[in-house]
C-alpha cells in the first residue's frame, strides 16, 4: 500500500525531503503544509534581494532553470500537494493525524500520515524591550519581511537604520543598507566583538575595521534599552545614549521553532531543538525532523550543536527523503562551516574559534598567517588571513577561520580543512595537505601549508607568538621602557617608524641580524616585527641561537596591524 507522508514546512528541508522521497517512491502521496504563501525559496539570498543584487523576489523561488517553485510547480512537476496559508496546530501521534488550520477560510481538519516530517525551521529570538512592536521594527526572518523592508527603503522612508545584533544577518543587512542604498547605518552588539562565538576577537576586529571604512558605525558592548517613537519608530535609547533611526532591524539570533514537536511530546533539548538520531528520526520513529528546528552532533566536541544553515537543511532533507523510502542514510553531525560576504571581504570558518575551544575545555592555542592568495610573482594577488585553532598537547586541529578578498580563495581553503575536521587532523596534516597548485590560484607553499607549519613551530616552542591585541596593549604602555619593537624589515620600511619612535622602535633587517648582533637591545623584551611574520620568525630563530630568548613574534606583522585598524 502506498505511503502517505505529511511534511510540515515548505521552505528548505521540507521540499528537499519531499522531492527526494517522491523520486524513490513515485506512487506515494506527499502533502506539504506551510503557513506562509511563499514557499521553497532561498532564504540565505534575502540580504541580496534587499541590497538590490537580486532584483525580484521570484528569483529566490526559481530553480536553476528558471521554473518558479510554487504550488503549481510542485503539483505538476513533482506530484506533491502543497497547502499554503495553512498552519499545523497539533499532532495526534496515536491516531497519526496532524490538525491543520486554513488561515484563509478558518477551516480546521485532520491530515492523516504514515510518516511525518517536521521542517518547522527557526524563528527570530525575541527582543524583550519597550517599543519593539512599533511600526518600522522588523526581523529578517522570511521573504515577506524582506519585501516589506525593501518597500520601505525603495519608497524613500528610510534615512537612518539601526541594526540590533552583530551576527550573520546583522552584518549582511548593514552592507545591504549602506552599500546599495546609502542609508546611515549603526550596528549595536551586546558583546565585545562582531560574530561572537564564531570567529576570534582579532579576526572580528579585521571585519569591523573593514566595515567602518565602508561607513558602517558600530557600538560594541552596548545594549538597546528601549525604542522610541509615536506609533512609528524614531530611534533607540541605549545604555550610553540615543540613536536616531526610522528603521530598526532586530537580528539577535534565531531559535528552533519546536513548539509543535514539544506539544506532541517529542524529546526536546535544553536549548529548545528537536532531538534526532543520525537517521534524522525524532523520539517517535515515524516522525522525522531536520533543518533549523533540530540539534545535531558537533563533530569537534561530540556535544549537541545548533546550525541554522540552508545548506545543512538541504543535505538533511535528502537523508530524510531516503529514509522515508526505507533507506538507512545517516547524518553524522557537523563542524559548523560558514561563509559570509562583507563588502569586499569573504569571512569563513569551520570548527571552533579559540574562545569557544577554551570554553569547551580544550587546552587550545591559535596561530595566524597572512600570505598572498596566489604566487607572489603573479600580477593579480591579494593578502589572505587565516587562523588555525589547535590543541596544545596533541596538535589536533579544532577549527579554522579566514578573512580574504571576495572570490573562491578564502572559502576554498576553509572548505579544504572543514572536509577533514571530523577525522581529527593535526597541524602536521595541514602542513602536508595536498592542494592543487598553479601561480594564478595559489603559492607553491600554499597559505594552508604555511598555516600548518606555523602551528607546528608554535606548538614546539620555536615560534613564540604575540597576537595583535596583545601588541596593542604593549604599544599603549611602551613608555614604561621594558619593551623594544625590533623591525626586521629593510630600512626603507622601518625608517618612518624609527624616526617617529626613536626610543621604542629599532631597525635591524633579518638578513643583517648576525652581523649586527651587538646592536640588539639587552635586558628588555623584544617584539619582533616584519610585514607578515615570516622574517620576524627567522629573526627569532637566530636570536635563540645567540641565547637571546626574551622575544615574541607579532603574528601577521604590520599587515595584520593595518587590517586590524591599528594606526602607528
Name the DSSP letter for residue 45.
G
pLDDT at 1 over 60: no
Q: Are 183 and 217 in contact (CB under 8 A)?
A: no
Tell me, what's the pLDDT at 51? 87
Q: What proportion of the chain, given as a percentage, has pLDDT over 90?
A: 90
pLDDT at 531 over 90: yes
CB environment 478-515: b (16+ within 10 A), e (fewer): beeeebbbbbbbbeebbeebeeeeeebbbbbbbeebee
Tell me, what's the pLDDT at 2? 67
Distance separating alpha carbons of residues 351 and 349, to the nearest angstrom: 7
Which of 501, 535, 390, 402 has its CA nearest to residue 452? 390
Q: What's the rounded mean pLDDT across residues 294-323? A: 96
Q: Count H helices, E strands: the chain?
A: 16, 31
pLDDT digits (tens, 9 = 90+) for 165-212: 999 999 999 999 998 899 999 999 999 999 999 999 999 999 999 999
pLDDT digits (tens, 9 = 90+) for 489-510: 999 999 999 999 999 999 999 9
Tell me, what's the pLDDT at 142? 86
pLDDT digits (tens, 9 = 90+) for 199-256: 999 999 999 999 999 999 999 999 999 999 998 999 999 999 999 999 999 999 999 9
Distance separating alpha carbons of residues 176 and 360, to the nearest angstrom: 35
Q: Is the C-alpha dihedral spanning 54, 57, 62, 67 positive or negative?
A: negative
Q: What are the chain's domains?
A: 4-41+53-122+255-324 (3.50.50.60), 137-252 (3.50.50.60), 338-459 (3.50.50.60), 465-564 (3.40.250.10)
pTM of the model: 0.94
Tell me, what's the pLDDT at 8? 98
Q: What is the DSSP string of 469-530?
A: HHHHHHHHTGGGSSEEEEE-S-HHHHHHHHHH-TTTEEE--GGGTTTTGGGS--SSEEEEE-
Q: Which of the four pLDDT bands, split at 50, 70 and 90, describes residue 428?
A: very high
Q: Cell 594606526, residue? A: 567
pLDDT digits (tens, 9 = 90+) for 337-391: 999 999 999 999 999 999 999 999 999 999 999 999 999 999 999 999 999 999 9
Amino acid at each position: 500500500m502506498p505511503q502517505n507522508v505529511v511534511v510540515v514546512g515548505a521552505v528548505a528541508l521540507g521540499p528537499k525531503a519531499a522531492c527526494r522521497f517522491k523520486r524513490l517512491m513515485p506512487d506515494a502521496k506527499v502533502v506539504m503544509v506551510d503557513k506562509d504563501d511563499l514557499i521553497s525559496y532561498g532564504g540565505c539570498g534575502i540580504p541580496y534581494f534587499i541590497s538590490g543584487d537580486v532584483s525580484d523576489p521570484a528569483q529566490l523561488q526559481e530553480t536553476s532553470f528558471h521554473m518558479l517553485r510554487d504550488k503549481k510547480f510542485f503539483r505538476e512537476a513533482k506530484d506533491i500537494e502543497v497547502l499554503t496559508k495553512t498552519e499545523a496546530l497539533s499532532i495526534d501521534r496515536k491516531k497519526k493525524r496532524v490538525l491543520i488550520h486554513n488561515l484563509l477560510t478558518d477551516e480546521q481538519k485532520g491530515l492523516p500520515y504514515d510518516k511525518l516530517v517536521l521542517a518547522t525551521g527557526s524563528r527570530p529570538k525575541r527582543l524583550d524591550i519597550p517599543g519593539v512592536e512599533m511600526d518600522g521594527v522588523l526581523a529578517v526572518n522570511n521573504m515577506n519581511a524582506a519585501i516589506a523592508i525593501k518597500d520601505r527603503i525603495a519608497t524613500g522612508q528610510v534615512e537612518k537604520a539601526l541594526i540590533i545584533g552583530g551576527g550573520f544577518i546583522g552584518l549582511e543587512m548593514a552592507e545591504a543598507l549602506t552599500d546599495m542604498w546609502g542609508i546611515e547605518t549603526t550596528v549595536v552588539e551586546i558583546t565585545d566583538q562582531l560574530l561572537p562565538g564564531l570567529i576570534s576577537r582579532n579576526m572580528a576586529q579585521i571585519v569591523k575595521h573593514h566595515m567602518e571604512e565602508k561607513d558602517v558605525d558600530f557600538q560594541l558592548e552596548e545594549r538597546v534599552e528601549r525604542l522610541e517613537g509615536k506609533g512609528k519608530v524614531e530611534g533607540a535609547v541605549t545604555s550610553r545614549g540615543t540613536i536616531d533611526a526610522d528603521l530598526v532591524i532586530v537580528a539577535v539570533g534565531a531559535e528552533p521553532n519546536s513548539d509543535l514537536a514539544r506539544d506532541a511530546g517529542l524529546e526536546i533539548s535544553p536549548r529548545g531543538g528537536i532531538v534526532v538520531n543520525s537517521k534524522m528520526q525524532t523520539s517517535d520513529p515515524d516522525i522525522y525532523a531536520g533543518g533549523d528546528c533540530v540539534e545535531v552532533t558537533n563533530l569537534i566536541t561530540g556535544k549537541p550543536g545548533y546550525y541554522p544553515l540552508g545548506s545543512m537543511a538541504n543535505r538533511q532533507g535528502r537523508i530524510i527523503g531516503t529514509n522515508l523510502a526505507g533507506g538507512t542514510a545517516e547524518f553524522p553531525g557537523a563542524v559548523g562551516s560558514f561563509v559570509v560576504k562583507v563588502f569586499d571581504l569573504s569571512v569563513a570558518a569551520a570548527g571552533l574559534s579559540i574562545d569557544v575551544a577554551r570554553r569547551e575545555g580544550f587546552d587550545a592555542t591559535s596561530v595566524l598567517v597572512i600570505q598572498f592568495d596566489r604566487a607572489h610573482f603573479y600580477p593579480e594577488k591579494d593578502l589572505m588571513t587565516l587562523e588555525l585553532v589547535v590543541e596544545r598537547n596533541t596538535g589536533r586541529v579544532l577549527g579554522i577561520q579566514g578573512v580574504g578578498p571576495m572570490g573562491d580563495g578564502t572559502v576554498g581553503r576553509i572548505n579544504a580543512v572543514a572536509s577533514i575536521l571530523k577525522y581529527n587532523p593535526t597541524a602536521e596534516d595541514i602542513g602536508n595537505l595536498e592542494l592543487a597548485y598553479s601561480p594564478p590560484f595559489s603559492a607553491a607553499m600554499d597559505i594552508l601549508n604555511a598555516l600548518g607549519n606555523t602551528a607546528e613551530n608554535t606548538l614546539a616552542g620555536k615560534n613564540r607568538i604575540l597576537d595583535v591585541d596583545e601588541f596593542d596593549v604593549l604599544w599603549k604602555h611602551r613608555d614604561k621602557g621594558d619593551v623594544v619593537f625590533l623591525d626586521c624589515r629593510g630600512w626603507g620600511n622601518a625608517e618612518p617608524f624609527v624616526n617617529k619612535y626613536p626610543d621604542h622602535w629599532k631597525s635591524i633587517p633579518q638578513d643583517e641580524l648576525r652581523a649586527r648582533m651587538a646592536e640588539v637591545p639587552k635586558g628588555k623584551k623584544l617584539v619582533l616585527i616584519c610585514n607578515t611574520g615570516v622574517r620576524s620568525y627567522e629573526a627569532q630563530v637566530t636570536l635563540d641561537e645567540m641565547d637571546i630568548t626574551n622575544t615574541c613574534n607579532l603574528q601577521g606583522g604590520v599587515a595584520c596591524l593595518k587590517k586590524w585598524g591599528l594606526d602607528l
